[in-house]
Amino acid sequence: MERRTFLTKGLSAAALIPFARAASTQVPSFELEEVSLATLSSGIASGEYTCRSITEMYLERIEALNRTGPRLFAVLETNPDALEIAEALDKEAQEGRRRGPLHGIPLLLKDNIDTADKMTTTAGSTALEGSIPPRDAFIAGRLREAGAVLLGKANMSEWAGWKSFARGTPGWSGRGFDGGKGGFCRNPYVLDRVPGGSSAGSGVGAAASLAAAAIGTETDGSIVGPSHRNSLVGIKPTIGLLSRGGVIPIAHSQDSAGPMARSVEDAALILGAMTGVDPRDPLTSPSEGSYLADYTASLDPRGLRGARIGVARDYAGFDDRVDKLFEDALSVMKREGATIVDPITLPEELRFGNEYEMEVLYHEFKADLNAYLASLGPAAPIRSLKELIAYNESHADLELSLFGQELLIQSEERGPLTEPKYIEALATSHRLSRDEGIDKVMDAERLDAIVAPTGGIAALLDPLGASRGAGGGCSTPSAMAAYPNMTVPMGFISELPIGLSLFGRAWSESTLLKLAYAFEQATEHRRPPKFLAAAPI
C-alpha cells in the first residue's frame, strides 16, 4: 500500500490515536535533562563532555521518546551528519578555536527552516517530501557559524497552520503521520493534550530535552503558544530582527523565527546568535543598529525594579484558574519593584482572525509561498500554491483526511500585493495595532511592557473535534504590529503549564528579556514534564 493511503473516511478518534487511554509511560532518566546551555558549554570546555558525546545523548533521547515510549512525534528526522559535525567541532575546540557559547550545542529546527544538507524542508507537507533547498536559511547558517549542531527537523502544524481553521489539530502534519501509531505531536506534560501549534515539535523537543533548545516560527501565536503549553520561554522578535530568508512563509508582514528554550538565559543566547542583516529579507535592513549579537547583558535579577508594566485585562477573564495565576504573577512583579498600571486598553479589533489581519495573510501567503517555491529551482516537487492545492486534492486520503484546505483556496483567489484591498488592510492593521494600540498606550502610560496571560489550558488531543485550545491568547496585537512578544512560565494548572506574555515596542527585546528574567528568577516556575497519560481538569 502506498504511504499516503493509510487514512480512510469514518475513522474514530480512538482509531486515529490508539494511545489516548494508555497508562503513563515510564521514561528513562536522562543525564542532560534540563541542563542549560551554559552548563553544556562549560562541560565541553572542561572536558566533562565532548560535542560528540552530547550529540549522541540527545540522539538516544530522541530514539527513546519520539516514536517509542511516550511517542511524542516531535522530531520528523535527525541529521545523518550530526555526529560527524560534532566531531569536527571537537577538533576545533581541542585546537583552541571555540566559536562561542553555542559551540557543540545540539538544536532542533522547525521543519519550515531551510537547511542545505541531507535533511529535507517540507513545512510538514508530503507535497514537499524530499525537497532539499539550494542554501541554508540565513538563521540556520548563523547558527552553524556559531557552532551549533543542527540536530534535526521538528514536527509542526502543516504549513504552519495556514491550511484550515475548521478542524485543524495543532502539531499534525501529513509528513509526520505514521500509520496506525498516529503521528500527532503530543504534549509531554499530559500526553492526551495538544502541545500547541504551529511550532509544536519545537516546543515538545525543547521541553522534553530532545535537544538543548529549539527554533520555532510565528505569524500569530506559533512560538508563544506552544512555549506556554510546554513551560518554555519563547521569543517572537520584532519583524526584521531575524531574517526570513529561507524560511517557508505565511506572511512577510508578520512572520518571524525565534528561540524556544527552558530558560530566559538560554533563549537570549540563541536569539543573539541569529541576528543580522540579510539581503534576502529587506525587512532586516531597519534592524541595523537595533540588533545585538549578545542579549545576555540584559539579564538582571532586579530588572523589575522601577519598571512600569501595563495589564491588558481584556485578554484575561476566560478562566478563573488562569486568572489566579495571573494575579499571583502581578503580585510578584509588584513585590519585585514594578509599578503595575491596571488596566490598559487596546482596540477591541485586535483579536485573532480579525478581518484586517486575515486579508493581509491571505494575500501575502500566495505571493510569499510562490516566491519561496520558485527559489527551490526547477526540481521543486511543487512550484506554486495552485499546484499545492491540486496535490492535496489528489492525495486527499492523507492530506485532507482530518481537515480541509480552505485557507489555501482563499489565498489562491487573492490578487497581487498591489490590490487596494490588501494595501488598505495592511495600513489598517498597522494603525490599529501601533498608532491606536501598543504605541499609544505605552506613550500615554509611560510603559516598559504590557502583560497578559499567554493562553489557556492545553485542550484535549481530539483530531475529529475542536482541539484549538481552552480559551485565551494575546499574541495578535504584537503580531499585527510586527512588534516583539515573549512568554515565560507562569505556573501550572493540574500539571499543565501556563505562560505569561510580555510585549512592547519595536526593538524592545532587551527590555522584555530583562523583565522576563527577573520574573523567572523570582518565581522559578519551570519544571520538566512527567509524561502523564491524563490529568484531572
**Which residues are tagged catalytic?**
110, 198, 222
Tell me the residue length of the chain.
Answer: 537
**β partners of residue 451:** 311, 502
- The dihedral over CA atoms of 148, 151, 157, 160, expressed in degrees to the nearest 10, equals 30
Least Cα distance to 459 among 348, 254, 318 occurs for: 318
For residue 98, CA distances in Å to 145, 211, 227, 228, 244 come to 11, 20, 30, 33, 27
Concatenating the DSSP letter of every residue in 366-393 gives HHHHHHHHHHT-TT-S--SHHHHHHHHH
Distance CA 463, CA 517 (A): 36
453 by DSSP, 3-state: which?
A: strand
520 by DSSP, 3-state: which?
A: helix
Least Cα distance to 307 among 273, 339, 350 occurs for: 339
Distance CA 240, CA 283 (A): 5
On the CB side of 25, CA atoms within 13 Å amount to: 25
Among all chains, which residue has been given the C-alpha cell 535579577?
301
Distance CA 296, CA 420 (A): 43
